[in-house]
Structure 1
Amino acid sequence: MDNPTLWLIVAGGLVIAELMTGTFYLLMLSLGAAAAALTAYAGGTLTWQIVTAAFVGGAAVVVWHLKKPISNDALDSNVHLDIGETVTVDAWDAQGHTQVKYRGAQWAAVCTPNAALEPGLHRISEMQGNRLVLEKI
């Protein structure tokens, strides 16, 4: 079996592994293997094939990693389904803390920074561990 075929088998194996794991990093490495196959078709030596696979695959992984948006899971309603729900605050203490009943349990809660501590209806805007961050509605 010749080198281009081997590189294409490696690329296919990486694509299959990527489909099983759900990450795009293995897909980027498969691009490097495909580039190495093209280098082999062009008559490049095994050293150049490996260098091409490493460079293209590694560069694709770095570019993919840098392009991923940085997310704050504490503010993401797709991670915390409680974000956006409403609770009723009876009273705040002097430090800006309160206890609210939510989903049948007592939760510790704080108010968003620089907001007035008023009782009434509040929306959950963030989760900080097991503490709710509330904003006045």
Structure 2
Amino acid sequence: MTPDDLAALHGRVFTVPRPWSAAEIAGLLDGAGVFLLTEPQGFLMGRAIAGEAELLTLAVAPEARRQGIGARLVAGFLTEARARQAESAFLEVAADNLAALALYDAAGFRQAGRRRGYYATATGPVDALVLSRAPI
């Protein structure tokens, strides 16, 4: 997948937070410790630096959800993070994204923090939950 492909999929999946542009994705991919995992209908970007891994974004095409793609990508993220010597992992997710919360819970992530009103939506602010997992 090219940055344009990734941005197109990201744009189909996200409104809050806003979708990332191809230039933003390309810039992230050039960053230290950043890695990309892909499936035909989804992708995950992560970063592993100094013993810690961050799941930057996960996007699965709406028509391909509930087929195990997200779970495979998260499992791949944990495997890649371990291979890069990460001892812990974290991510941020909208508190109202129940499907993502269930996915991350099944992968062993637990709430470590809350950023109140972090995301601005058409219906009002939504909290961001910081989830972590250690060891990975």
Shorter-chain TM-score tier = under 0.3
- Greater RCO, 1 or 2 (C-alpha within 8 Å, sep 6+): 2
TM-score (norm: length of structure 2): 0.26
Q: Select the structure of larger CA radius of gyration.
A: 1
Q: TM-score normalised to the size of structure 1?
A: 0.26
